């Protein structure tokens, strides 16, 4: 009975290609450094005259404040390569609200960096260079129907540095 010969050449080539492909895969980048967020003062939300909007930009309201301290070795060496980005996305709901106060409400957050008068969409990360950056955060809650019932409301915006 004749014996079948195994072909080894193709399997070696295939193995070599698989090893080479493993070396060519992109490696996840890691930032070498730190980004510290120091929470400052809390903001205050006030109602508009129609009581359909609660916001820190309404008359009598105030922005929340934080300080970002970013330090990345590669950012220092290569200017904006591998630097940190900050964002402050709006919450999906109030942290606390009176009965009915959280229904039919949409939230929008904005933030400003380093005393700039430019509002950045809270969900859109903004790159920061190494150093200390002042951040002001505003939150607006809009009720699509009806008015906000009387009571105490609290909204929490999480500041991210990634």
> Residue 123 has what DSSP assignment?
T
pLDDT band at 62 (very low <50, low <70, confident <90, very high): very high
Give the CATH number, domain containing residue 67.
2.60.40
The pLDDT value given to residue 29: 52
Query: What CA–CA distances, in Å, run from 160 to 73, 103, 122, 135, 150?
Result: 20, 27, 10, 12, 31
| pLDDT tens-digit series, residues 84-110 | 999 999 999 999 999 999 999 999 999
Number of domains making up the chain: 1
Confirm whether 9 is domain-assigned.
no
Confirm whether 14 is domain-assigned.
no
95 CB neighbour count, 10 Å cutoff: 10
Dihedral of CA atoms 120, 121, 123, 126 in degrees, nearest 10, equals -20
């Amino acid at each position: 009975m004749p014996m079948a010969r195994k072909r080894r050449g193709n399997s070696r080539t295939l193995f070599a290609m698989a090893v080479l492909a493993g070396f060519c895969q992109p490696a996840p980048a890691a930032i070498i450094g730190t980004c510290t967020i120091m929470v400052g003062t809390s903001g205050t939300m006030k109602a508009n005259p129609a009581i359909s909007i609660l916001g820190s930009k309404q008359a009598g309201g105030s922005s929340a404040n934080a300080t970002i301290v970013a330090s990345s070795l590669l950012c220092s060496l290569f200017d904006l390569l591998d630097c940190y980005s900050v964002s402050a996305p709006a919450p999906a709901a109030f942290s606390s609200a009176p009965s009915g106060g959280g229904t039919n409400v949409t939230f929008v957050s904005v933030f400003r960096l380093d005393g700039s008068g430019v509002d950045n969409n809270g969900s859109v990360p903004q790159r920061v260079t190494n150093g200390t950056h002042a951040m002001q955060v505003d939150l607006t809650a809009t009720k699509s129907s009806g008015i906000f019932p009387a009571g105490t409301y609290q909204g929490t915006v999480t500041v991210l540095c990634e």
